[in-house]
Amino acid sequence: MITIKDITEAYERIKPFVHGTPLVYSSSFSSMMGAEVYLKTENLQKTGSFKVRGAFNKLKGINDGKVIAASMGNHAQGVAYAAGRLGLRAKIVMPVTAPIVKEEATRGYGAEVVLYGETFKDALEYAMSQKGYVFIHAFDDDEVIAGQGTVGLEISEEMENIDFVLVPVGGGGLIAGVSTAVKALSPKTEVIGVQTESAPSAYLSFKEKSVLEKVPLPTLADGIAVGKVGAKTIEIMNRYVDDVVLVKEDSIAPAILLFLERKKLVVEGAGAAPLAALMEGKERFAGKRVVLVVSGGNIDFTLIDKIIHKGLVSGGRIGVFEVTVDDVPGSLHLLTGMIASARGNILNVAHDRLSADLPVGKTRVIFTIETRGGGHLEEILSVIQKRGFDVRRRTKG
């Protein structure tokens, strides 16, 4: 099991190759959450993620030859970049479901990319079966864990009297390293792991104190969509981590949106998970000094518009509802006038005249509107209902 000495040595080893990322106070998040909130911005790290730290620490011990790794994306980029800097050849195995932006970035760093299998598990098993390569595990490796632990070292050396450090968890390499460093330098600080409900292996394993496998469901937090936590990492987690919590999948998009709106930071789903946990657990962290480890910013930009829309819907800033009216001239004008009078901004209008449950002579009008929040939407619906219309709110846009 690694120690603070291993992490300190790793820091000296990788320091010439990586950024010491900023620890940023967020006044807006602090005000919103009722806590003193700081962001460890690993999304600003080289390759856009903390993974490059562990990659350099591992690869620095390899003098020549070829390395191979399996990854959903961030570890792939870290290994590819580190290998290129250190004069090594890298092959990266990624599942076909890996985000295209991460696949292309990995190729851009000079690695050979092989797409294999539907899941990280498939890619991992294939990579481990290849001969003639030094295998670089994404998380269950002492040198990789020590490299990731330099995140915790930087946090603890820069700030005192931290109450909580919230860390996203997939395979557990980041939280294993961070918790080892934090507990050595600031024993009273609580280290909390965060997983999405769609990928709860580390959560279940932590609660049962043994490795449990759970196939991930589709999730915006693809960086932590790991079906099986590491044997080494869960051992460290059981010793140093205070708790692991699950966040709802629907909380990820609003957290990404908050980073964009309030901090002008591009953050991927995994990196946004700690903020989602803070949003869901305000009472637990009220009045406390909290550090959120923003693990990465490698988001697929083809999803940005969908994530923004989902975040606005989840946050009540965009509302979708349907109204059944007489299919006669003037009905739509009457409805739009009521919405305008309540200061709602209409984004889209659609008609449904063919549903089997609609009486002859009726039409269903589906509105998508921009509001000032959930309370404003309720005001608009109340105005329409008071005029005798049948209104139904839709939970999804």
- Looking at the DSSP bridge assignments, the partners of residue 166 are 192, 292
State the pLDDT at residue 374.
Answer: 65
Residue type for position 336: T
- Rounded average pLDDT over 190-216: 95
Topology (CATH level 3) of domain 316-394: Alpha-Beta Plaits (3.30.70)
Model confidence at 397: pLDDT above 60: no
Q: What are the tens digits of pLDDT across the range 214-232?
A: 999 989 898 898 999 999 9
Residues forming beta bridges with residue 113, ordered by sequence position: 92
When pLDDT is averaged across residues 104-112 and rounded to a whole number, the result is: 93
Based on DSSP, count helices (H) and strands (E) in the chain, helices before strands.
16, 14
Question: Each residue of 39-64: pLDDT tens digit?
Answer: 999 999 999 999 999 999 999 989 87
Burial 5-14 (b: 16+ CB within 10 A, else e): ebbbebbebb
Q: If we measure between CA atoms, which residue out of 260, 369, 348, 355 comes closest to residue 311? A: 260
Contacts of 120 (CB under 8 A, 6+ apart): 70, 71, 72, 95, 225, 226, 227
Q: What is the domain partition of the chain in residue ranges?
A: 4-46+142-301, 51-135, 316-394
User: pLDDT tens digits for 290-303?
Assistant: 999 999 999 887 78
* Residue 196: predicted pLDDT: 96
Say if CB 250 and CB 314 are below 8 A apart.
yes
> Could you write out the DSSP letters of every residue in 122-182?
HHHHHHHH-SSSEE--SSSSHHHHHHHHHHHHHHHHH--S--EEEEE-SSSHHHHHHHHHH
What's the token pair of residue 227?
């079906």
Mean pLDDT (the chain, rounded) = 93
One-letter amino acid of 328: V
- DSSP code for 245: E
Topology of the domain comprising 51-135:
Rossmann fold (3.40.50)
How far apart, in Å, are the Cα atoms of 118 and each of 22, 123, 139, 213, 328?
Answer: 36, 8, 20, 16, 51
Strands 112-115 and 362-370, sheet pairing = unpaired
What is the DSSP secondary-structure string of 259-314? IIIII-----HHHHHHHHHHHHTHHHHTTSEEEEEE-B----GGGHHHHHHHHHHH
Q: What is the CATH number of domain 4-46+142-301?
A: 3.40.50.1100
Domain 4-46+142-301 and domain 51-135, same fold? Reply is yes
Distances (CA, A) of 392 to 217, 310, 319, 365, 384: 30, 19, 11, 10, 11
Tokens at residue 367, please? 């509105």
Q: Which residue has the higher pLDDT, 22 or 311?
A: 22
Question: Tens of pLDDT along 355-378?
Answer: 878 888 889 999 999 998 768 988
